[in-house]
Structure 1
Amino acid sequence: MSAYLVLASIGILLGLLIHGRIAPAVLFSGWAVGYVISGVISEQAMLASFSNPALITLLVLMLVSLALERSPLLERLSDSLLQGKEWRASLRLMGLTAGLSAFLNNTAVVGSLLGVISRQRYIAPSRLLIPLSFASVLGGITTLVGTSTNLVVNSFVVNAGLPALGMFEFTLVGLPVAVLCLMGLLFSRRFLPAHQLPSNESAQAYFLEARLEAGSPLVGRSIEENGLRRLNGLFLLEISRHDRLISPVSPDEVLEAGDVLVFTGEVEKVQALQQFSGLQLFGNGADRLLASNLVEVVISNESELANRTLQEVDFRTMFNAGVVGIRRGGRRLYGTLGKIPLRVGDSMLLAVGPDFKQHRNLDRNFHLLSNSLQRPRLSARQSLFAFSGFGLVIGMAAFGLLPLLNGLLLLLAALLLTRILTLSELRRRFPFELMMVIGSALTVARALESSGAAALVAETMHSVFSGYGVMGAFVGVYLITLLLTETVTNNAAAALAFPIGLSTAQGFGVDPMPFIMAVAFGASACFLVPFGYQTHLMVYSPGRYRVTDYIKAGLPVSVLYSAGVLVLVPLYFPF
């Protein structure tokens, strides 16, 4: 396969990633296998990509983080942080989040604080959740282990035969950039909405779906006759009838058996449907639903529900729970809920059965917002052991006393021996999709290099930026990576940009380190849209945000971030 064909295939891959209908793991795996079959790279090269030491380090770090995210320490700290004036509380929260995210998985940090912030009554959560997510990204850029993006870039560095990046190699640039952006975020957070919550912690608007049974006395009568226009706290938005949507609903509309009635309203007003016989809310009668425990959850980035519908996954059987409503940011979801493809970050209100919390797949699929249901927590002694062990491993790796991978493996073994983690938990939460994305992306990068496609792009970069010198090419690589991370995921952006950056450095005959840093920092520069970074999606629905909220708060941060990186990287990593 020629370099031009490889480039064309990469263009198709990028288009599919932007479209978002097919999971990145599936796309990268398919492309990697395709390059092996077509002879662009060998099978041995593909297998070597999956045994990359930096990739193994990332996977073991994710497994160790499973214990750390179960510690109640973060929740206990957050309640005291959020008292007082809003700007001071925001500054304390962002400082804590950034500090923790420098060493802990930022998804785990945001997941631990998400429910606490959503439930507290001091400050509107919508004023805090985007700053929480942004601060976790900014803390992550300061160390090797702070974000998966840095570890992914390190895996590409090792794969290219270059020396592995050090624990604090990012700090000289990352720390001042993080501080600068946090100060900018303290200013730009004023553009965020203030969605004040009522006193009832679950009283957020949801879209409720009720199916009309054949034997219901409501059948054959109009909306007006049935009294469905005068509900306390609920409003009938539309009716789905044989795949036809009736909206708006006329008071003279006559109901038929099998109609799906879609209401909007507040959670505590669901009882208004109890008076109507023959209404089924996702398989439960209204009276049974109201006797159930209502739990609010957010779909996690690891969830198997992403891009699938409730009907496809047989949600009730899988979780012994019925879906009362779904929210996606502050936007209305049209159509019947059972046929809507779910997305990472969607909020769902569930009516759960008595054994819901015993289901072992909850942590993988959901972040819990309701305090009526809590995951098993570590004891104080277990938390101390887990955090002390992690700190010791990081410290020894930083001073070169023990390789990071060896230390993490020892810590993982200790967590298993003390039963803080179990083998079944590791099997359930193993980051298989992340492994497939990165291992396959390493293979794709090898294909770009071996086919000459990366060199072709580098030649183009050289000709375009020849009048601006190596500094112009450096800025170009950074901007390409930033554009990719705003349109696809951060890890996919790093995978696609790294071969370009390395080949560009080789084309100019300069040290590749500035270009490696341009890719690493550029791949974490997602501040304008919620779809490029998992923590942004996690806070999207709980904060009831719109995309414009991310742009308003994120544009000043993105400008400061880019300016800081473009000035400091050449200063500390000269060409």
Structure 2
Amino acid sequence: MTAYLVLGSIAVLLALLVHGRISPAILFATWAGGYHLLGLSSQQAFLSSFTNPALATLILLLLVSLALERSPLLDRLSSSLLKGSEGRAILKLGGFATLISAFMNNTAVVGALLGPISKQRRHPPSKLLIPLSYASILGGITTLVGTSTNLVVNSFAIEAGLPPLHMFQFTVVGLPVAIMCIVVMALGTRLLPTNAATEEESRSAYFLEARLAPDSPLVGRSIEQNRLRNLEGLFLVEIERDGHLISPVGPAEVLLAGDVLVFTGEVTKVQALQRFPGLQVFGAGADALLKSNLVEVVISNQSELANRTLRDVDFRTMFDAGVVGIRRGDKRLTGQLGRIPLRVGDSLLLAAGPDFFQHRNLDRNFHVLNGAGLRPRMTARQSTLALSGFAAVILLSALEWLPLFSGLLILLAALLASGLLTLGEMRRRFPFELMIVIASALTIAGVIERSGAAELMAGWMRQLFDGYGVSGALVGVYLITLALTELVTNNAAAALAFPIALGTARAFGVDPTPFVMVVAYGASAGFLIPFGYQTHLMVYSAGRYRMRDFLRAGLPISLTYSIGVLLLVPLAFPFRPG
């Protein structure tokens, strides 16, 4: 009975994760805490999840990456990578991003290349940003430290009493699969959209709001009388009045005090509004906006702005910037911008004040597509030392001369001592949510195993694939993981699929390793839906993509990836008796 209750609760958890209104950290922590209070997880088991060695290693790796992502290496190489035809550019960019993502956090890789690719004019950014996101995923599946998902699966394996996964255990399957997928991407450039490539076109993807002051001479006069119909580069599309929207706006419409006029077109033509007294652009005259620096940013996955409105956070005070416009994918958001809940991946066009780039919380909240860098880059010498130190840690770990945790701890201390990383930066960008999700997931996975729910599901898997043998069951586990990672986050997919994989392997009496590996690969196979993977959200608005763009470009990659994984895993990790 307990097994069925646990499975029912997991179904509710999955439904809430798919719904997306509540953050995974809150959901996983609630479920883990609930299981503990119900006596399904002991206090020792609950607390040990937060001290799991693989989780501690992941946290250290992410903290070290904060310094490594300041290396100028990615910026310097980005221009040379994009030379040649679109196919050649994707081959070079994909290969480079895959190589770097094998050892660096993939969100850091995409974040570093997002700005240079968005600003370059050789190729439309929309032809390169989806391949960049895909390549960062492909790099992650080639090493243990390539993605947090691999380390999460490793933590589950250790918790289940299995041997820990090794640094390059993923490479034998991950590298051939990555090469196959990059070639398919380069051959399928026609599947990617050709969206606006110039800065002017990008800026025209926004709306501009202007509020009518009570003392403005425009009040009480019609649109036609105020000559607001034929502005250079701007078009009046709607008026917001007392919470109501007037659209379309007729020439005889009379303006009232407090009206918010919404314009579209080239927002850089804001000077057209200078000649209208009392028309304020975000609390300041249009001339003040002209003197400011227009900066385009993308909301990061670590941002505290996610699911909050501009009004909730007092955006202008918080960042010394006004929001000129918001874009989500290829959609321009209008209406009362201050009341729109923001999402990870939204593009904001900001009228940045002089202190904007001095705010210490920018790198946590935004990826900047244009404008100055948020933090000073390392010098060439500093970059060489930091990257060499990281390479030494990876090498020593691969040779089993020094545990990865110990090596990363030494490197972190060296970075702090040298000033390349500060305690303040670590505090601002410490991955609290990821830590809560993974630790809670370890507790949940343990409950699924101990309650008999995993054994129950494994029995169903055995019945379902009885005529296909253990190979059919392996395909089934992979497809379940793939479906989960498209619907929820990759780490959540790994957490939910791992107990099923382990139970299925034991039901068939074989070595769990191939099943563990297909969970790791399957949890990183999110190519079809942009909302389940962080790097997809990062490029979604910057490339002005639609959902169908990911479906068109991702389907051949997903098929190639899946075929490669399912053919190579049984060869690399045979089904030996357990």
TM exceeds 0.5?
yes
Name the residue aligned to 1:500: 500
Deviation at 1:82, TM superposition (A): 1.3
Amino acid at match of 2:314: D
Name the residue aligned to 1:484: 484
Amino acid at match of 1:284: A
Deviations 1:445-500 (A, max 9, x none): 11211222222211111111112211111111111110111111111111111111
Deviation at 1:307, TM superposition (A): 1.1
CA distance in 1, matches of 2:433, 2:507: 34
CA distance in 2, matches of 1:433, 1:234: 42
Name the residue aligned to 1:88: 88
CA distance in 2, matches of 1:210, 1:254: 16
Whether contact under 8 Å (2:188, 2:553) holds in the other structure is yes
Name the residue aligned to 1:555: 555
Deviation at 1:532, TM superposition (A): 1.1
CA distance in 2, matches of 1:342, 1:446: 35
Mapping 1:258-277, distance limit 5 Å: 258-277=258-277
- SS of equivalent residue, structure 1 residue 122: coil
Name the residue aligned to 1:313: 313
CA distance in 1, matches of 2:173, 2:454: 27
Does residue 1:571 correspond to 2:542, yes or no?
no
- SS of equivalent residue, structure 1 residue 332: strand
Deviations 1:308-346 (A, max 9, x none): 111111111211211111111111324311111111111
Distance change (3 Å), C-alpha of 1:160 and 1:204: farther
CA distance in 1, matches of 2:382, 2:425: 16
Deviation at 1:111, TM superposition (A): 0.6
Distance change (3 Å), C-alpha of 1:203 and 1:475: same
Structure 1 runs not aligned, ≥5 long: none
Whether contact under 8 Å (1:188, 1:552) holds in the other structure is no
- SS of equivalent residue, structure 1 residue 325: strand
Whether contact under 8 Å (2:207, 2:334) holds in the other structure is no
- SS of equivalent residue, structure 1 residue 275: coil
Name the residue aligned to 1:169: 169
Could you tell me the TM-score, scaled by structure 1's length?
0.97
Name the residue aligned to 1:545: 545
Distance change (3 Å), C-alpha of 1:257 and 1:494: same
CA distance in 1, matches of 2:407, 2:372: 37
Does residue 1:155 correspond to 2:159, yes or no?
no
CA distance in 2, matches of 1:189, 1:308: 36
Deviation at 1:34, TM superposition (A): 0.9
Deviations 1:532-563 (A, max 9, x none): 11111111111111111111111100000000
Amino acid at match of 1:233: G
CA distance in 2, matches of 1:192, 1:442: 38
Deviation at 1:48, TM superposition (A): 0.4
Name the residue aligned to 1:332: 332
Does residue 1:29 correspond to 2:24, yes or no?
no
CA distance in 2, matches of 1:9, 1:19: 15
- SS of equivalent residue, structure 1 residue 239: strand
Name the residue aligned to 1:467: 467
Amino acid at match of 1:532: G
CA distance in 2, matches of 1:497, 1:334: 40
Deviation at 1:413, TM superposition (A): 0.2
Mapping 1:93-112, distance limit 5 Å: 93-112=93-112
Mapping 1:16-415, distance limit 5 Å: 16-198=16-198, 200=200, 203-415=203-415
Does residue 1:531 correspond to 2:531, yes or no?
yes
Amino acid at match of 2:488: V
Whether contact under 8 Å (1:188, 1:554) holds in the other structure is no
CA distance in 2, matches of 1:201, 1:367: 20
CA distance in 1, matches of 2:199, 2:471: 55
CA distance in 2, matches of 1:178, 1:460: 33
Mapping 1:377-456, distance limit 5 Å: 377-456=377-456
CA distance in 1, matches of 2:502, 2:225: 71
- SS of equivalent residue, structure 2 residue 115: helix
Amino acid at match of 2:481: T
| Aligned residue pair count | 575
Deviation at 1:204, TM superposition (A): 4.2
Whether contact under 8 Å (1:202, 1:267) holds in the other structure is no
Does residue 1:7 correspond to 2:23, yes or no?
no
Deviation at 1:199, TM superposition (A): 6.0
- SS of equivalent residue, structure 2 residue 289: helix
Amino acid at match of 1:411: L
Deviation at 1:373, TM superposition (A): 4.6
CA distance in 2, matches of 1:543, 1:199: 12
CA distance in 2, matches of 1:296, 1:473: 48
Distance change (3 Å), C-alpha of 1:46 and 1:201: same
Amino acid at match of 2:455: A
**What is the Cα-based RMSD across aligned positions, in Å?**
1.4
CA distance in 2, matches of 1:517, 1:531: 24
Residues 412-421 or 179-188, more deviating: 179-188
Whether contact under 8 Å (2:206, 2:333) holds in the other structure is no
Residues 186-195 or 480-489, more deviating: 186-195
CA distance in 2, matches of 1:68, 1:204: 35
Deviation at 1:191, TM superposition (A): 1.3
Residues 557-566 or 505-514, more deviating: 505-514
Deviation at 1:189, TM superposition (A): 2.4
Structure 2 runs not aligned, ≥5 long: none
Whether contact under 8 Å (2:357, 2:372) holds in the other structure is no
CA distance in 2, matches of 1:440, 1:234: 51
Q: Identity percentage over the alignment?
A: 69
Residues 205-214 or 501-510, more deviating: 205-214
Amino acid at match of 2:84: G
Whether contact under 8 Å (2:86, 2:189) holds in the other structure is no
Deviations 1:357-405 (A, max 9, x none): 1111111000111134543111111101110000000011011110001
Amino acid at match of 2:193: P
Deviation at 1:196, TM superposition (A): 3.8
Distance change (3 Å), C-alpha of 1:201 and 1:423: farther
- SS of equivalent residue, structure 2 residue 530: coil
Whether contact under 8 Å (2:196, 2:202) holds in the other structure is no
CA distance in 2, matches of 1:394, 1:189: 35
Amino acid at match of 2:484: L
